Structure 1
Amino acid sequence: MFSRLYGLVMQWARHQYAPWYLSITAFIESVFWPIPVDVMLAPMALAKPHKAWFFAALATLFSVLGALFGYALGYALWDPVVQPFIASVGYEEKIIVAEQWFKQWGIWVIFIASFTPIPYKVFTVTAGLLQMALLPFIITSLIGRGLRFFLVAGLMRWGGEPMERKLMHYVDVLGWICVGLAIAAYFWFSR
């Protein structure tokens, strides 16, 4: 099952419009999209290692542009647009946690959210809601997102074709491990 999906993803990664898809995904992932950019960036960097740095730069640029849009939503449209949407998807607690993290760690929370798998979108909108200084927000986002995406692209470029063959060999096992971990995490966090 996963090997077929992997083959399809690699085919998409080689598509002529893949950079456009990557840019759109990076932009909307910083606002509301639940699928991380890495899912698109990694196969693209594997499929075309000579363009890995370009793809990482593209992902970084559009992710930060999306973050600015998320910031603007939180800043200017919290009450009429964002808050009702947050309530409808049950993210109220996540916003409260984000606000607490901002109070506790300040700007470092943007770096942590932009580099790690923590939902960056929650912090882009919350930064706007809390009216965080814009220039530090942009600089920290550029550094965090850039480090993350260039690391992913670099690993794929470094691994190249041998990594692609190894991934193809183990993709079904890795896929089922991920499913198992997701189910375990769901039960762990829903207690």
Structure 2
Amino acid sequence: MDFLRNLGDIGLFIHAMIDAIIFPIPALFSQISLSTLSPERAIWLATIGFIGCIIGTPIGYGIGRASGTLVLSKMMKKKWHDSATALFTKHGEAAILVGAFTPIPFKIFTILSGCLKYPLWKLIAYAALGRAAKFYAVGGLFYVYGRAAENMVDHVLTFIMLGLGVLIGGIWFAVRLVKKHRQKRTGAEAKGVQETAGGADVPAGE
């Protein structure tokens, strides 16, 4: 951690990238340390962390595709592995979004996505949304409140992240419900057209 912190912006970039691959300590800690030193650069630091994470995401995915659950079982505690698997299996894309705001290490979701052969482009898209919200929530907090934000992190940041996670997850579920409703409506209309066409083919007098 000290080594990465001493590298400044480059250290944050590296930390964020390996956070999505194998590193056990979240990049959030490097972001907070550097933002405390330079609150006026907090948004820029958030951008660096976000880019690093997005670059690391497909690498973690590739590890999952190549090794299956072997890496996860050796790297992570069983409770993290089981929680992430259950969340991913039940909620799919929403798990990636919400996973950005939970205590579960994000690399579990990148590697697990590879294990389950989840579409890479979807992983990157949803990871971009979730991780951007997280990095910029932290950056915005420091940019607005300055160094005082360091004392607010433990008490406020968790609730902000969870709130954003719930909001994003809620929007996702709402979109899914609308899509399902439209699909059912389209299917019913198509069935009605087929029945009408079938009735028109019956010769008069029969």
**Normalising by the residue count of structure 2, what TM-score does the alignment of the two structures yield?**
0.65
Partner of 2:123: 137
Matches within 5 A, 1:1-191: 17-78=7-68, 83=70, 85-89=71-75, 91-92=77-78, 94-161=80-147, 163=148, 167=151
Unaligned ranges ≥5, structure 2? 155-206
Q: Distance in 2 between matches of 1:113 and 1:90?
A: 15
Q: Distance in 1 between matches of 2:101 and 2:21?
A: 16
Which structure has the larger Rg? Answer: 2
Which amino acid letter does the alignment assign opposite residue 42 of structure 2? A
Partner of 2:182: none
- Cα distance, 1:159–1:90 mapped onto 2, change above 3 Å: closer
Deviations 1:24-66 (A, max 9, x none): 1111111221211111111212222232111101101111221
Q: Could you tell me how far 1:134 is from its partner in structure 2? A: 1.6
Q: Could you tell me how far 1:154 is from its partner in structure 2? A: 0.9
- Cα distance, 1:58–1:86 mapped onto 2, change above 3 Å: same
Q: Distance in 1 between matches of 2:73 and 2:124?
A: 27
Aligned residues: 151
Partner of 2:199: none
Which amino acid letter does the alignment assign opposite residue 60 of structure 1? F
Q: CA RMSD in A?
A: 2.5
Q: Distance in 2 between matches of 1:63 and 1:148?
A: 11
Q: Distance in 1 between matches of 2:62 and 2:95?
A: 18
**Normalising by the residue count of structure 1, what TM-score does the alignment of the two structures yield?**
0.69
Q: Distance in 1 between matches of 2:136 and 2:119?
A: 26
Report if the CA contact (8 A) 2:80-2:104 is conserved.
no
Which amino acid letter does the alignment assign opposite residue 123 of structure 1? F
- Between the two structures, name the one with larger relative contact order (CA 8 Å, sep ≥ 6): 1
Q: Distance in 1 between matches of 2:96 and 2:76?
A: 22
* Runs of 4+ deviating beyond 4 Å: none
Q: Distance in 2 between matches of 1:42 and 1:31?
A: 20
Q: Could you tell me how far 1:90 is from its partner in structure 2? A: 5.7
Q: Distance in 2 between matches of 1:24 and 1:143?
A: 20
Unaligned ranges ≥5, structure 1? 1-8, 175-191
- Cα distance, 1:92–1:116 mapped onto 2, change above 3 Å: closer
Q: Could you tell me how far 1:73 is from its partner in structure 2? A: 0.6
